[in-house]
Structure 1
């Protein structure tokens, strides 16, 4: 007999909802019982797996210890709230009081650190073929000649809800999933690690990618003001720093203008311009000047712009992107990156990558205005996931049935508001950590800042990064502490072979110059 389980379940639910519930006189009400069960729920023990390894960097043997596991974090009432996952690489035979240490993470929000871990930072990295679909095994690992373990130790962090990190005890995810809650929990982890592993005396650095820019801006200020931890430097990789000026399609003049130079770079790369400029950088300098003198002023004027000014803007929009003036006119001179990625090569049946706009793939829905998938992510993520899971279990010795969460989709439940240092405790609805960085640099004038950005990044375009740095409220003297480096690649510029060496050397030079 074939049972209709769906109908049976529906009837059972109706019965349970409609029938009176009988319980003993001494039994607690259901709400109290649930609360008691939650309180009595056992807290998993933190775990640590340790191995010893060696890598050659620059022809020299580097002996290191790899430690993968979790730290049990507690709140102010000494109650367990999270198992915080990490992987640490510590060079052996070094004085840990003088040895630099770098804490690193990806962004999302809701992304684990495996991208950086397997892409460029760890002593072993996944083999990624640039501009290809890395979806067919076998997936390979190789020694990472671009690692900076010859200069500094490394701790890769997975915020709660990513990797192997999760809330425990009575804690819930929402206690961690928001700009300020995330900043606090990551700061607390760093302080805990410094104490448990005797690294208080070390030169300290933080490296954050993408949303990790917002996290790092907040953490640098939070560490200094709440824990008296002063950083030697921060490294911002393709950083997202300000919601308004870092987002297109919101009818924000700065946001829409800041994306345009990467629209132009993308059009140049895919050779859809007529005439096609021979070189990228001279072309971008021309586009940037046009944005400042023509495009941004017209956006600011809105309906006050003259017909001649609007037409000049339309001519430039078409000339620098290859997208028709008619389309730009219908879009009222503004376009989100998703609309642009669909429209740029629609005639060829292709959609373009947001994370790295050098990538392109087929377009199943040729009339869609927004992208259903990212050609970059679909080409690279399978290799990253496979490489990390294989590496963690076969080389780092991790034994667990728990899934490593590469992307938890936490952005959907994320509290985007933020209490800025100068807001008198009021939560600004959308995060902007430029005040946090400005205050951290002012209060700690020896803190240096390295910013790395790619020309083909449409998640955090280089125009948004330059604009953010231009609006740091710091003195001319402190501006000398900020270093900006560009790469002819996308958001994760380290998949681009020509950028990998530069990425590594830029960080090593920065660490050397900022550690003393």
Structure 2
């Protein structure tokens, strides 16, 4: 009898074809084997921790037991008698953002056991050597770094529709399933669970926090680094966008000696925040209804804060786009500023390369670390741990980014919104789990996710004081990626240690 896949039949199209072959499902891609290796971390004060690093592909399934895909996870789990009680040992799930970003940066740069050391605002050489990370979370928690599906080594199964997981809600559901799968595979059912997200990863955190609770898994702590909760301020002309940017502009002008000479950087940043709240906000919401003399008076005050000329600010109606600021603050030096960290600079482009979309994507603060981080991460995974992986590590997938579904249904709302606001998810999850704690980290030079907007978004939730007491805020000198700032990491490390020391007991 002939094999079904080779049997030719007459199709509806009227031609003979191999129908069964055409109807066959796409073949599954070969999944690399798990790799593990034992290491010893050496801390700055002589402390040592033996730990096992495991690089693995964790399968995740939907409710109908259909394979969604495999999530790449790198775990660093402490060993020894001191860490034997895994029921009491926290495990923190970490990720970057994008959307479309893998999680190599928060590992090799930020919270992992090894790191690429920073060199301030200097561009890192591609062959920058790794070292034991003096600021790692490993003393406080075991760590699991997860690549989002379609990024890094994580793959959506060939027979599954990627659009179901490339969006605010689908992504959070996939991550929740991935976390549960890791806890199950490693028999860590009772371990205190923490979430650590950066950038879009903070938006993911808020939804995963809620979704895990709905699936019966409690979260003990949520750490938000470089936070964005409400995407409305990124819409063109939104007043909250301009209000959030002013303190960043002020801190940047202070750094380059264009404003606030001799004033402490945090004092200058806070002065700008206060000015936004009390002077700028009531002025900017009036638009061209603001009388000309008041416009000029506000512009003069703004000029003192951000280092741009009064006439220039009046001409722009007090509304300064980030790219406008980046191009103009150091224009007389022929330089342009970074976006993730406005202290980074590069040489200005020629006018012929003046395309706004191109310029918005150019960022010396990203260029300065990206290649060094990817190179180091590949060496760690492949040369040190022995993971085979795939031919390409997708550190930043623009396909995932461009195909992202931003629609989100916040709890308690009537339906999906095209512009997501996950602050409501955060508040709902905290109301359901009032012993959980939340920690927000912000940087005064972060123009991607301004700290003023975080405070503004949380203030609009009108949480009761008992829940507000579960939340803490810390602002540092860094830009978007705190691990590129040695001073910020030094300040964050004891704050994180204290956060974990409190466990999940309410104050």
Q: Tell me, yes or no, whether TM beats 0.5.
A: yes
Q: CA deviation at 1:56?
A: 2.2
Structure 1 residue 149, shift from structure 2 partner: 1.3
The answer to whether residue 104 in structure 2 is matched with residue 119 in structure 1 is no
What CA deviation, in whole Å up to 9, does each residue of 1:168-224 have, x standing for no partner?
131132221111111111011111111111111111100000111110000101111
Residue 99 of structure 2 corresponds to 109
Compute the displacement of 1:302 (Å).
Answer: 1.9
2:3 matched to which residue of 1? Answer: none
| Pairs within 5 Å for 1:151-166 | 151-166=140-155
Q: Is the 8 A contact 1:258 1:461 kept in 2?
A: yes
Match of 1:280? 265
Contact kept, 8 Å, 1:46 with 1:71, in 2: the verdict is no
Match of 1:5 in 2: none
Secondary structure of the residue that 2:92 maps to in structure 1? strand
Q: Which residue does 2:314 correspond to in 1?
A: 329
1:212-361 equivalences under 5 Å are 212-225=201-214, 227-245=215-233, 247=234, 250-273=236-259, 276-361=261-346
Cα offset, 1:415, TM superposition? 0.9
How far off is 1:395 after superposition? Answer: 0.7
Match of 1:99 among 89, 97, 101: 89
Q: Does 1:180 align with 2:169?
A: yes
**How far apart are residue 28 of structure 1 and its match?**
7.5
| Aligned residue number for residue 47 of structure 2 | 60
1:427 match: 416
Q: Aligned pair in 2 of structure 1 residues 286, 400: CA closer, same or farther (>3 Å)?
A: closer
- Report the equivalent of 1:71: 58
Structure 1 residues not aligned, in runs of 5+? 1-22
CA distance in 1, matches of 2:410, 2:389: 39
CA contact (8 A) 1:43 1:80 kept: no
Alignment of 1:399-438 (within 5 A): 399-409=388-398, 410-424=400-414, 426-438=415-427
**Structure 2 residue matching 1:238: 3-state secondary structure:** strand
Name the CA distance, whole Å, in 2 between partners of 1:331 and 1:33. 64
Cα distance in 2 between the residues matched to 1:441 and 1:106: 22
What is the alpha-carbon distance in structure 2 between the residues aligned to residue 177 and residue 119 of structure 1? 25
Residues 342 and 371 in structure 1, CA contact (< 8 A), matched pair in contact too: no
Distance 1:429 1:371 in 2: 23
Q: What is the alpha-carbon distance in structure 2 between the residues aligned to residue 454 and residue 306 of structure 1?
A: 34
> 1:236 is paired with a residue of what secondary structure?
strand
| Aligned positions, number | 487
Report the TM-score when normalising by structure 2.
0.91
Deviates more, 1:122-131 or 1:177-186: 122-131
The alignment yields a C-alpha RMSD, in angstroms, of 2.1
8 Å CA contact 1:119, 1:495 repeated in 2: yes
| Pairing 1:504–2:489 present | no
Matched-pair contact (CA < 8 Å) for 2:437–2:504: no
The structural deviation recorded for 1:443 is 0.8
Q: After superposing the two structures, state which structure 1 stretch, 300-309 or 145-154, moved more.
A: 300-309
Separation in 1, partners of 2:198, 2:69: 23
SS at match of 2:472: strand
Post-superposition offset of 1:153? 0.5
2:60–2:69 Cα contact (<8 Å) kept = yes
The 1-side partners of 2:203 and 2:267 are apart by 31
Check whether the contact 2:94–2:146 (CA below 8 A) recurs between aligned residues. yes
Q: Which residue matches 1:14? A: none
1:28 and 1:40 map into 2 onto residues whose CA distance is 22
Cα deviation, residue 404, structure 1:
1.1
Give runs of aligned pairs for residues 135-146 of structure 1, distance below 5 A. Answer: 136-146=125-135
Query: Secondary structure of the equivalent of 2:99?
Result: coil
Aligned counterpart, 1:379: 368
| Native 8 Å contact 2:118 2:483 kept in 1 | no
Q: Is the 8 A contact 2:127 2:372 kept in 1?
A: no
**2:85 is equivalent to residue 86 of structure 1:** no
Give the aligned partner of residue 168 of structure 1: 157
Whole-angstrom CA distance in 1 between matches of 2:120 and 2:134: 17
Q: CA deviation at 1:44?
A: 2.8
